[in-house]
Chains A and B, each alone.
Chain A
């Protein structure tokens, strides 16, 4: 391949990328006041894929997600939503395109499931506009997709952790956005509820066509469910790509400082990470 043709193909892919990425950061600096979390960070979220962001505690992955969802204004650089600067669009416009499930959501006392899910319709409603059929339809579809229809009239605080998390997902779905951002959605859930929720996300991605971005702690969940993996350490992207392409023992060592063994997952044929831990030292 000649020098010229390789440059040509590079230009082509760059052009395709701007079309394909639903959301991207262009060399952003993210900071909370003086505390700089990431410098010159560029990340692309491919359209229609399930992207998972992983990295050690404090690496800036949640901060990145906050900036991607317009909650945090970058000190420099820009964030593009469908090719347009996210901060030149109003909160409400963004809320029609991008839904977020933050870690910090507080369910109001004694609120019914259906009422909480209905709040997802807020960005579509105008002053003095009555509840429409479209609103009702969106809420019903969201509750069906997440399997919370049966407890529509229950109080949210009477539900189990897994059910409650599905209600929050339903609220974000009622927003009818093509993009859905999830900040550690499986934290505090038991293993069965974690898998149930991850399967739900996979369905939302594959069946309903949502572009998903999730920050996860569990590397094996990340490898099994992600189409596209972004590995971050200390505010820098260390590797991106499909789990099968990028996850190696060396990479895990580099990013997490963890010595591990990687086997093919016998069920999904994705990388299965087995930490060596102290057991390796004594054997």
Chain B
């Protein structure tokens, strides 16, 4: 999966010395923490009576209407959004890290999510703030960014590392473009854009998340179908072709799915960074054979975004941080760690 030779050594040592029980302990801890967080997110907090009996009433549907609305309409939809979007971003990251064969090759580093957000901004500026316009704008923007990166990075074929460097450059350019766009549009649009650009799960109602979830579900299904082919591509283009794979077609298809799995979440929440980057790598360390799996990446992505949103909602008194801010802070630390380790 990773072309870096230093990394190979690390993994060798790991697989020799890894104690399976230690890994399953980590998995068990993660699952327990995940369930605890789900419980806390739903049932603990202001406006709801915090005792076991009333929680039981909420679950069975005997609670009063106000409390039911708070828990099942507001909190549950937000929690569900965090899980679905986290999973989508995790899979998107796993697909791209596999395609580029590098742990840094994720759509939030190569700027596909910034491109997607450019698409959202353009669609808001041109047509106003409509759900499906944003989704389509986001898809077009993400794909355009991906195409730009591919064109600029092409030199006798694509090396993973060049794609990443060009991606970072395109990402920076698009960020600047996004800011310019915010300055030129009307104040109202600019404010919507500014709120959005942090990446937030605020106002995530069922009506907002469900249509996107269906789309994400479809994309995840496609990604899982292509899983075997993706694994063959990791062994190198020549051997994949020798095994009967249409290399370019498969890569294009995986790229489209990967970009879409970043673009659709970006359309409804704004850009949320670092979930795509970190989730597959954490999932690999939790896997008994150190493999990156799509399902593992999805689960870890869901867990990470839920945790980040929990932190964002509860770390400040009387104020909630946008989840994008939390992931970018935590992810920044992780990126520093990754660069230090790669540099060793």
Contacts and interface: CB of A to CB of B under 8 A. Distances in A.
Interface string B218-247: 000000010010011011111101111110
Contacts of B237: 104
B8 interface: yes
B293 to A, nearest CB: 12
Nearest to B2: A109
B243 A119 contact: yes
Contacts of B225: 127
Contacts of A92: 244-245
Interface in A60-98: 66, 69-71, 90-96, 98
A187 to B, nearest CB: 15
Interface in A120-173: 120, 122-123, 127, 155, 157-158, 172
B234 A102 contact: no
A144 B259 CA distance: 43
A106 interface: yes
Contact of A106 (B16, B236, B241, B243): B236
Nearest to B246: A91
Residue of A32, A69, A110 with highest tally of chain B CB at under 10 A: A110
B242 A95 contact: yes
B17 to A, nearest CB: 13
Contacts of A175: 243
Interface string B193-231: 000000000000000000000000000000001001001
B239 A110 contact: no
A90 to B, nearest CB: 8
A122 B232 contact: yes
Nearest to B239: A105
Interface residue tally of chain A, by bracket? 35 or more
B32 interface: no
A91 B235 contact: no
Given A109-B2, A157-B12, A69 B242 contact: yes
Given A110-B289, A127-B225, A122 B243 contact: yes
Interface string A236-266: 0000000000000000000000000000000
A107 interface: yes
Nearest to A102: B238
B249 to A, nearest CB: 9
Contacts of B231: 108, 119
A120 to B, nearest CB: 7
A99 interface: yes
Contacts of B234: 106, 108
B101 A71 contact: no
A147 B246 CA distance: 31
Contacts, number: 87
A215 interface: no
Interface residues of B, number: 29
Contacts of B245: 91-92, 122
Interface in B1-19: 1-3, 8, 11-12, 15-16
Contacts of B156: 32
B341 interface: no
A123 B232 CA distance: 11
A100 interface: yes
B235 to A, nearest CB: 5
Nearest to B229: A122
B291 interface: yes
A120 B245 CA distance: 11
Given A91-B244, A106-B101, A107-B235, A122 B8 contact: no
B68 interface: no
A108 B243 contact: no
A183 B15 CA distance: 30
Contacts of A110: 11, 15, 289-291
Nearest to B18: A110
A96 B245 CA distance: 12
Contacts of A66: 238
Contacts of A123: 243-244
A273 B228 CA distance: 46
B290 to A, nearest CB: 4
A96 B242 contact: no
Residue of B11, B234, B237, B239 with highest tally of chain A CB at under 10 A: B239
Contacts of A99: 242
A59 B92 CA distance: 42
Contacts of A98: 242
B1 A108 contact: yes
Interface of B: 1-3, 8, 11-12, 15-16, 101, 156, 225, 228, 231-232, 234-239, 241-246, 289-291
23 contacts: A66-B238, A71-B238, A93-B244, A94-B244, A96-B244, A100-B238, A102-B238, A102-B239, A104-B237, A104-B239, A105-B239, A106-B3, A109-B1, A109-B11, A109-B291, A120-B243, A122-B243, A122-B244, A123-B243, A157-B11, A158-B12, A158-B16, A172-B242
Given A109-B8, A157-B12, 17 more contacts: A69-B242, A70-B241, A71-B238, A91-B246, A96-B244, A98-B242, A100-B238, A100-B242, A102-B242, A104-B238, A105-B236, A105-B239, A108-B235, A109-B11, A110-B291, A119-B231, A127-B225
